[in-house]
Structure 1
Amino acid sequence: MSTKKSNLFLELENVIKQLTPESISKERKKVLQPLTEYIKSKASLNKEIRINFICTHNSRRSHLSQVWAQTMATYFEVKNVFCYSGGTEATALFPMVAETLRNSGFQVYKIAGEQNPVYSINYSQNAHPIIGFSKKLDDDFNPKSEFAAIMTCSQADGGCPFIAGAEKRIPITYEDPKIFDNTTHQAEKYNERSLQIATEMFYVFSQINS
């Protein structure tokens, strides 16, 4: 399913068209279902949909999830979706994440900072760019109430028994591509994880207006 109204960058839209949501297992669909239901419930009431993707360092998986979820909301014309990310601690958005997104057709620019750089991540000609940088989950940049907390790593899920302000807490965990850093498989494995997340966010958002 595609939409010309989204004005996604052509290279990015071509990547999305090659995703295979039919490959998602029944077990994994059960993991994703609470997020689908949360978004549907908000959309049915025309309420703002705030989703904060959380992992330990807010450096890899949570950013990939935030970016792909926001992109898929636009792709499937699900309105009033605002995606965020945070960590149990702040470090830095890992450069390979920016490179991986760039290779999928996003326009990614470093706009400030060195130790914890700030990136502009754009997916559409008309949408406001996503501002990507590492931050704690309760950072002022993130929502304080009426949001779903999506735990993208088991460490953060286990280490954060309570997320202040969250209406819903949903574990959707991913293996960390960090284990392939400084290996010949690094770029391949980061892309693999990114496309897994893209495929699952495609599946979730494809169901909202169907």
Structure 2
Amino acid sequence: MLKTSNFSIKNFFFNAYKEVSILDDRKLLLLKIAEAIAIEHSKSGIVNLNFICTHNSRRSQLGQVWSSFGAHYFNLHIDAFSGGTEVTAFHRNTVKTLQKVGFHFQLEVFSHQNPKYTITFDGANKVLLGFSKVYNDAINTGPFMAITTCNNADTNCPFIPTASHRFHMPFVDPKASDGTAQQDETYLKTNQQIAGEIYFVFSQVKKLVS
């Protein structure tokens, strides 16, 4: 059982990095992503990352939120976005698992179909706007590096003309646990896995650009 009581986001982020299992093939992928980010960071001074998954409701949202936190944590000039191949909603279980580890959500625009949230954390110097959108929504600043997080997105988005780079970084979808007794634990494990891998990538970027 993962514990979140008395945890700051910083602690969760670092402990996720220490505790998640990253296989060798996966580590090679993450190192390639880190190298590409570092090159772009050194060349242009800022990197835009766009996490893409079919519905932009779970994994891609987690990727955006943790990358936004990671940029703050490591003091990197990285802006994170997310999008999908279709619009649904920022799933309430994704919101819930992020709140559990310390992110603050404020309802900005009410909608039964697709509410918009402002997302912050203690010490944040910018506010993140979270809602479901297509990957080429106007809010997603380009050019960006595209990081697809599920198999469907990888299949449905074979070519993204505005992407400077494209990497496939899939995660297990926690959706199957919705409505079950394992729901909260499953989402928390996905939350931890994504946080840990983002920590790994960004720590490598920091080394490369320092």
Give the TM-score, by structure 2 length.
Answer: 0.90
Provide the rounded CA distance (Å) in 2 between the counterparts of 1:108 and 1:95. Answer: 11
Aligned ranges 1:53-92 → 2 under 5 Å? 53-78=51-76, 80-92=77-89
Mean Cα deviation higher: 34-43 or 185-194: 34-43
Structure 2 unaligned residues grouped into runs of 5+: 1-6
Q: In structure 2, do the counterparts of structure 1 residues 158 and 21 end up closer, same or farther at CA, with 3 Å as the change threshold? A: farther
Mean Cα deviation higher: 107-116 or 80-89: 107-116
Provide the rounded CA distance (Å) in 2 between the counterparts of 1:162 and 1:182. Answer: 35
Deviation at 1:21, TM superposition (A): 4.1
Aligned with 2:34 (options 28, 33, 36):
36
Letter in 2 for 1:68: W
Aligned with 1:19 (options 16, 19, 22):
16
Structure 1 unaligned residues grouped into runs of 5+: 1-9
Q: Does 1:104 align with 2:101?
A: yes
The answer to whether the Cα contact below 8 Å between 1:89 and 1:135 also exists between their aligned partners in 2 is yes
Mean Cα deviation higher: 66-75 or 10-19: 10-19
Report sequence identity in percent: 40
Provide the rounded CA distance (Å) in 2 between the counterparts of 1:45 and 1:129. Answer: 26
The answer to whether the Cα contact below 8 Å between 1:53 and 1:66 also exists between their aligned partners in 2 is yes
Letter in 2 for 1:150: I
- Which residue number in structure 2 is paired with residue 185 of structure 1? 182
Task: Name the Cα RMSD after superposition.
Answer: 1.4
Give the TM-score, by structure 1 length.
Answer: 0.90
The answer to whether the Cα contact below 8 Å between 1:21 and 1:202 also exists between their aligned partners in 2 is no
The answer to whether the Cα contact below 8 Å between 2:51 and 2:60 also exists between their aligned partners in 1 is yes
Deviation at 1:46, TM superposition (A): 4.6
Mean Cα deviation higher: 101-110 or 41-50: 41-50
